[in-house]
């Protein structure tokens, strides 16, 4: 048995067989030259015909499936059409055919290879991810030029967990959604197209696993615990039994989701606990409430800046925030201001390479350095707030000075809305994330200036334990059960209670039912997670007694290692 940690890209739990997929890559591309101008003209016409047909297929798919396609699929198809009709690509192929007398297949392959290699070496993560888009379209063009049918994921005979180095966006959008029950990739991040599509299709996915696809045999049994970014290869009997039980509990909990929507989640002794959902795109809003979410605890607004076809101008942001708030029907929506930087690079702003990007120019640090851009986002949130109950939350606060600067810019944004005679939510609540040790250590000082705390346990564990959670060689060390992390959570929760403000956890552990009792015992009164996990957490809550939870937390805080804490769960 091997337990491998990666990046949670789309949450969920599934046990099944691995299906290794080579990505349909070409083993050989034909290369030849022409001697006559007439042959070059015929080759150019052949290339144009292939591109026109590929674009027309996508246009017809959009036109004929308007009601069936979600916005993520539709946007990706439109992006692919733009790539197929891109004048620069046409001009480059034209030059190679007429100036070098090359055949179209070879011309497209060389252009694709040059462009993807250039993008893959870019310090801009967004550009690196676009390399997959270009590779996918060019690969499809070459197959069509060769008149060959490419092996795809569109028709599978059985339920499978797809294991691959990468899945190109063109393959992800056409994959067999009935039988693809999980995705495991060596490459990728939470912002890549395949991850975005997996979330929209509600398919569990873990990415950034290094060379795992080369180590797994076809048909191997896998446990895909995407909520924790974990893949268990060839689990032993005890582990398999444990996760099968967990899967049954999840499925049973989902069946009772309708009851969860009407009954507020409470512990066995009647203590109410708020359960909210995390989202990254406005289109995810509608489905979170079918799982019983009591609001949006974390709207990751940076995806509005990173997703292709989604401009970050104020009106576009205003429309996106308004859509989420309106769809929430009065339930609270917490919008985290842009968490750019680190592994989420905004084009045109990063013309340098940071040696330690996760410790560098990111989140609120980036926002404070771009005050006009920051105020544009704040104005959009304030204006959208008139449509319901919205809250603003600042990420990666590490000092009181940062928090006060952010609040000052918020006040300026309000003044600018007034001057523009725009309606806005003047009394919108403001919160801060607790995701670096410094914030937890000065929690009492921060609490005096905000209405709520939200503890991001993913980053809190990463920064407390000095572990890059995106690095497969060390991410297993980033255990949120480490006593140091638990003590910081307790410190923040105590400060919130003393100040009379709310406190929640919005990291991955919020969805882990084995951690629910411990979090409650530490003083957490609200959990925000992927929506699909809400029914299972609600069911777990109903079995808990707060006195027992506090006793468990007291014992855990006295432990010296994460292993000792985990042993407490087995007793």
* Residues labelled catalytic: 193, 506
What sign results for the dihedral spanned by CA atoms 500, 269, 250, 206?
Answer: positive
Question: In terms of Cα–Cα distance, which of 555, 424, 558 is closest to 569?
Answer: 555
Burial (CB count within 10 angstroms: exposed 0-12, middle 13-18, buried 19+), residue 271: middle
3-class SS of residue 336: strand
Strand order in the sheet with 13-21: 2-5, 230-233, 221-225, 13-21, 160-164, 180-185, 205-207, 7-10
DSSP state of 477: G
User: From the CA atom positions of the chain, what is the Rg in Å?
Assistant: 25
Cα separation, 203 vs 105, in Å, equals 34
Contact by Cβ (8 Å): 446, 403: yes
DSSP 347-367: TTT--S--SSGGGSS-HHHHH
Contact by Cβ (8 Å): 421, 462: no
| The pair of three-digit structure tokens given for residue 219, joined into one six-digit string | 């048909």
| The pair of three-digit structure tokens given for residue 156, joined into one six-digit string | 């599978």
Distances (CA, A) of 92 to 39, 56, 102, 314: 18, 22, 12, 36
Buried/exposed 426-453: b ≥16 CB within 10 Å, e otherwise: eebbbbbbbbbbebbbbbeebbeebbbb
Question: In terms of Cα–Cα distance, which of 352, 442, 356 is closest to 402?
Answer: 442
Contact by Cβ (8 Å): 230, 20: no
Cα separation, 178 vs 353, in Å, equals 42
Cα separation, 273 vs 546, in Å, equals 11
Residues forming beta bridges with residue 453, ordered by sequence position: 432, 503
Percentage helix, strand, coil, to 5, in the chain? 50, 15, 35
Residues forming beta bridges with residue 389, ordered by sequence position: 332
First CA to last CA across the chain, in angstroms?
Answer: 24
Pairing of the two strands 429-434 and 205-207: unpaired
Give the DSSP H or E segment for 295: none
Backbone φ, ψ for residue 488 (5° rounding): -70, -40
What sign results for the dihedral spanned by CA atoms 261, 262, 267, 273?
Answer: positive
What sign results for the dihedral spanned by CA atoms 505, 507, 512, 514?
Answer: negative
DSSP 151-195: P-SS--SS-EEEEES---HHHHHHS-TTTEEEEEESS--TTSHHH
| The pair of three-digit structure tokens given for residue 496, joined into one six-digit string | 């919130």
């Amino acid at each position: 048995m091997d337990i491998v940690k990666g990046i949670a890209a789309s949450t969920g739990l599934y046990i099944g067989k691995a299906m290794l997929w080579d990505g349909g890559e070409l083993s050989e591309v034909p290369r030849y030259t022409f001697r006559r101008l007439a042959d070059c003209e015929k080759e150019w016409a052949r290339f144009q015909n292939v591109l026109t047909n590929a674009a027309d297929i996508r246009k017809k798919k959009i036109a004929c499936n308007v009601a069936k396609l979600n916005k993520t699929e539709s946007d990706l198809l439109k992006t692919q059409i733009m790539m197929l009709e891109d004048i620069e690509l046409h001009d480059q192929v034209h030059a190679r055919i007429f100036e070098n007398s090359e055949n179209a297949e070879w011309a497209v392959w060389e252009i694709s290879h040059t462009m993807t290699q250039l993008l893959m070496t870019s310090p801009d993560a967004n550009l690196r991810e676009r390399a997959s888009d270009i590779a996918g379209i060019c690969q499809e063009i070459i197959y069509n030029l060769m008149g060959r049918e490419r092996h795809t994921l569109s028709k599978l005979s059985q339920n499978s967990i797809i294991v691959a180095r990468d899945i190109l966006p063109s393959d992800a959008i056409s994959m067999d959604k009935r039988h693809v029950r999980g995705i495991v990739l060596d490459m990728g991040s939470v912002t890549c197209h395949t991850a975005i599509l997996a979330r929209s299709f509600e398919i569990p996915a873990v990415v950034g696993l290094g060379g795992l696809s080369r180590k797994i045999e076809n048909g191997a049994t896998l446990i895909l615990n995407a909520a924790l970014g974990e893949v268990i290869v060839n689990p032993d009997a005890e582990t398999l039994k444990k996760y099968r039980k967990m899967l049954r509990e999840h499925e049973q909990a989902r069946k009772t989701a309708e009851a969860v929507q009407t009954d507020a989640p409470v512990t066995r002794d009647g203590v109410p606990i708020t359960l909210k959902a995390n989202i990254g795109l406005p289109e995810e809003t509608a489905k979170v409430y079918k799982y019983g979410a009591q609001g949006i605890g974390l709207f990751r607004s940076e995806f509005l800046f990173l997703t292709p076809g989604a401009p970050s101008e104020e009106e576009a942001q205003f429309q996106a925030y308004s859509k989420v708030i309106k769809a929430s029907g009065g339930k609270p929506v917490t919008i985290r201001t842009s968490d750019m930087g680190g592994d989420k690079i905004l084009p045109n702003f990063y013309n340098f390479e940071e040696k330690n990007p996760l410790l560098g120019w990111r989140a609120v640090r980036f926002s404070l350095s771009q005050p006009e851009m920051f105020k544009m986002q704040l104005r959009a949130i304030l204006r959208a707030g008139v449509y319901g109950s919205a809250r603003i939350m600042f990420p990666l606060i590490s000092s009181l000075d940062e928090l006060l600067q952010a609040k000052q810019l918020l006040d300026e944004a309000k003044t600018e809305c007034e001057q523009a005679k725009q309606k806005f939510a003047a009394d919108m609540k403001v919160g801060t994330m607790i995701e670096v040790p410094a914030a937890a250590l000065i929690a009492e000082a921060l609490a005096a200036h905000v209405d709520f705390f939200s503890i991001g346990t993913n980053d809190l564990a990463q920064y407390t334990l000095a572990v890059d959670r995106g690095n497969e060689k060390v991410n297993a060390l980033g255990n949120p059960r480490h006593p140091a992390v638990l003590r910081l959570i307790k410190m923040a929760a105590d400060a919130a209670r003393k100040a009379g403000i709310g406190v929640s956890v919005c990291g991955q552990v919020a969805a882990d039912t084995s951690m629910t009792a411990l979090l409650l015992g530490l003083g957490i009164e609200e959990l925000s997670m992927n929506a699909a996990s809400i029914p299972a957490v609600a069911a777990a809550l109903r079995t808990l007694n707060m006195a027992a939870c506090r006793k468990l937390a007291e014992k855990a805080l006295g432990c010296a290692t994460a292993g000792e804490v985990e042993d407490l769960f087995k007793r």
